[in-house]
Amino acid sequence: MKRYLPILLMSFFLIILTIVGTSYLAGYAGKENKDSLATITIYTTLPVEQVAVLAQEYEKAAKVRVNIAPFSEKELFNRLIEESAKPKADLILANRKTLKQARNSALLVPYQSEYTDIIPSRFQDTDGYWTGVWYDPIIFAANQDYLKTTAKKPSKWSDLLLDPKIKLSITDFPAADAAANLLYTLVAANGEEQTMNFLKKLHPHIVQYAKFLVTPARMASMGEVDIAVAVHSETMRYARDGFPVQIIYPEDGTAYLLTGVGLVRGASHSANAKHFIDWLTQDDVFSVMAQNKFYFIPTNPETRMYKEYAAKNIKLLDHHDMYTLEQQRKLLDRWVQDVRLGIK
């Protein structure tokens, strides 16, 4: 019996090892090993929480892990320059200004597909170096209680001056790109002198020049002002949460901030990155963003949400690129001196 003991012990050990190994593997059956997933890396100027929602959804849909690296506009551009010989990023997701800067510095390569081809030309680079995927227009956020008391609901920019007692809020032009873009767009559409005169007349009614884009929408929703000049996305968030605020799209046109995506030159995972670009234009993206309270308007005419907003006849003013950085700085300086501080 003793001579069979080693064999019995070895057999017992093998049985235990088999049971443990089977249980271990069973515990992972049907689960993805994230280390084995393909990956793409996105450099972005957008808030991390916004991009994280997209990354999680794409990972579920395509089984591709999305690494997010957030930067300021300047940091993102400098990082792309530093890594241009051996890029770590596959894509950049940013506003039009950043994408154009990257394209002009030969940091992007063109990509076009059947999905990007249907996007209107106003929302993408003419040679396909970047594609706009959503936009956020400037609107009037009107408190509903105020609308019940006013004789005429404002529908144009000049209507903001009809009520001598109106209380307004707007984001300080130097505080955010979307706000500054409104100033440049109004000047391009109406002329510098006419725009400055209009803003001077508006100035006595401004309760607060806000530091953040969300503040004017909040103030109108809470009844702290009658009307706010605000971004659509933040106002829609309050409206969907049941606050008494109504969105009015200016009939004579408005500025908008465009967000787009570009393929980095020399990207290591270009095939997966291209698929991600196509995916960003589709319905599922905007459904999941809305579920997480990010309310942007798609650029793809085939999406359900685009068609819903098309019925609202939003007039967009495409005058964002008329001025150089130096001209933009001078316009901001003049507004601060002549209007904000009232020195002139």
Distance CA(238)–CA(218), nearest Å, equals: 7
Residue with tokens 């400037």: 138
Per the prediction, the chain carries an average pLDDT of 90
Task: Tell me the mean pLDDT in the region 221-238.
Answer: 98
DSSP string over 233-281: HHHHHHHHTT-SEEEE--TT-B-EEEEEEEEETT-TTHHHHHHHHHHHT
**pLDDT, tens digit (0-9, with 9 covering 90-100), for 205-227:** 999 999 999 999 999 999 999 99
- The encoded tokens of residue 9 equal 């012990």
pLDDT score for 37: 76
Check pLDDT > 60 for residue 44: yes
Check pLDDT > 80 for residue 1: no
pLDDT score for 323: 86
Contact by Cβ (8 Å): 219, 228: yes
**pLDDT, tens digit (0-9, with 9 covering 90-100), for 273-324:** 999 999 999 999 999 999 999 999 999 999 999 999 998 999 999 875 678 8
Distance CA(186)–CA(339), nearest Å, equals: 15
Domains and CATH numbers, the chain: 36-135+256-310 (3.40.190.10), 136-255+318-340 (3.40.190.10)
